[in-house]
């Protein structure tokens, strides 16, 4: 059996590892932090291709991921399918709607829209609750014979020596690891709140004024911010106030019960890096998924496993 090492244990690293196992590889994961300390553990994690390119590839990855979520949907693994309202206008890229199965998306009626939203789709999409779903994936990886080692890798040279083949799923960490100037943080501040009496929605039309609510089984995520090249890891009370004000504008009159304030950095890039390294040809890069890691990770992993099989590496 061929061996491969995955670097990174967020949603992209875990899905890559599992698909490689399914393709016949013996896989180990090496990561600076375990999955429950990654940015993947902090996010709303709903299927929606937010701030990710190139659209032709990401549309295909999103479709494959949707199908994978359908196939593995069970009662207790942190995965569900929920109605989701998404605003759009004449400038919006709405190609993603064609990736959903028939009957899963339609134009929202005016009486279904949050206040201040003029046009939107309403779709049925996967929601993965990270605090339940990521542990499930990690256990699946271990049950498949995988092994995990906590270690910080500091250079591509070091990465290339980890195994015969190495998959780089380090997210924003790839900025330093790969000296990648195209990769930068998109700072997200969100509120974890008690459940709210409204349908999940996202309004991404106004850059710098992102607004969304994601209802989960025991709480909801209210967001958010989308600040480019912002490395501030601290909770900003001004951002909390802005998030609450946007929620009020969407029609929520009463202040929600805030359970937690959270900051994380989306790994934003001009486009996802999905390729073998030109200087270290045994290293495959899979990072830069913006705000759509949970949306496309399974699709990327499926294509990655196909690439490795096509090279005749799995047997």
Q: What is the pLDDT along the chain (315 residues), one digit of tens a residue?
A: 789 999 999 999 999 999 999 999 999 999 999 999 999 999 999 999 888 999 889 999 999 999 999 998 877 899 999 999 999 999 998 989 999 999 999 999 999 999 989 999 999 999 999 999 999 999 999 999 999 999 999 999 999 999 999 999 999 999 999 999 999 999 999 999 999 988 999 999 988 789 999 999 999 999 999 999 999 999 999 999 999 999 998 888 889 999 999 999 999 999 999 999 999 999 999 999 999 999 999 999 999 999 998 875 544
Condensed to tens digits (0 to 9), the pLDDT of residues 59-103 reads 999 999 999 999 988 778 999 999 999 999 999 989 899 999 999
Closest CA to 168 of 290, 294, 63, 288: 288
| pLDDT for the residue 310 | 82
Options 3.30.300.30, 3.50.50.60, 3.20.20.70, 3.40.50.300; CATH of 3-310: 3.50.50.60
Question: Residue ranges of the domains in the chain?
Answer: 3-310
Condensed to tens digits (0 to 9), the pLDDT of residues 91-144 reads 998 989 999 999 999 999 999 999 989 999 999 999 999 999 999 999 999 999
- Backbone φ and ψ of 109, nearest 5°: -75, 155
| pLDDT for the residue 315 | 46
Distance CA 315, CA 303 (A): 17
| pLDDT for the residue 269 | 96
Cα–Cα distances (Å) from 173 to 79, 143, 152, 275, 313, in that order, read 27, 27, 10, 17, 27
Distance CA 272, CA 209 (A): 24
What is the pLDDT of the chain when averaged over all its residues? 94
| pLDDT for the residue 150 | 97
Contact 277, 179 (CB under 8 A): no
| pLDDT for the residue 312 | 59
Helix, strand, or coil (residue 21): helix
Distance CA 244, CA 69 (A): 32
| pLDDT for the residue 313 | 55
- Rounded to a whole number of angstroms, the CA Rg of the chain reads 19
Helix, strand, or coil (residue 179): coil
């Amino acid at each position: 059996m061929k061996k491969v090492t995955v670097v990174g244990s967020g949603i992209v690293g875990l899905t890559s590892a599992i698909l490689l196992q399914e393709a016949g590889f013996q896989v180990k994961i090496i990561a600076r932090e375990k999955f429950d300390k990654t940015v993947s553990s902090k996010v709303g994690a709903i299927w929606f291709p937010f701030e990710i390119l190139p659209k032709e590839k990401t549309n295909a990855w999103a479709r494959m991921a949707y199908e994978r979520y359908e196939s593995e949907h069970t009662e207790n693994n942190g995965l569900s399918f929920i109605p989701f309202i998404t605003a759009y206008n004449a400038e919006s890229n709405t190609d993603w709607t064609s990736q959903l199965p028939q009957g899963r998306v339609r134009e929202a009626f005016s009486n279904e829209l949050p206040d201040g939203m003029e046009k939107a789709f309403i779709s049925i999409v996967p929601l993965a609750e990270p605090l339940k779903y990521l542990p499930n994936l990690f256990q699946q990886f271990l049950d498949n014979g995988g092994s995990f080692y906590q270690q910080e890798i500091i250079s591509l040279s070091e990465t290339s020596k980890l195994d015969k083949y190495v998959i780089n799923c380090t997210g924003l960490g790839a900025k330093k690891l790969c000296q990648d100037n195209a990769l930068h943080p998109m700072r997200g501040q969100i509120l974890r709140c008690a459940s709210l009496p409204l349908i999940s929605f996202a309004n991404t039309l106004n850059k710098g004024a992102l607004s969304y609510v994601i209802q989960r089984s025991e709480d909801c995520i209210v967001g958010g911010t989308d600040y480019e090249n912002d490395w501030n890891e601290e909770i900003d009370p001004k951002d909390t106030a802005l998030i609450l004000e946007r929620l009020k504008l969407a029609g929520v009159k009463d202040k929600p019960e805030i359970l937690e304030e959270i900051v994380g950095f989306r790994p934003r890039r001009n486009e996802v890096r999905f390729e073998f390294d030109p200087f270290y040809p045994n290293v495959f890069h899979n990072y830069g998924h913006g705000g759509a890691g949970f949306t496309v990770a399974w699709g990327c992993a499926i294509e990655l496993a196909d690439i490795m099989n096509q090279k005749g590496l799995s047997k």
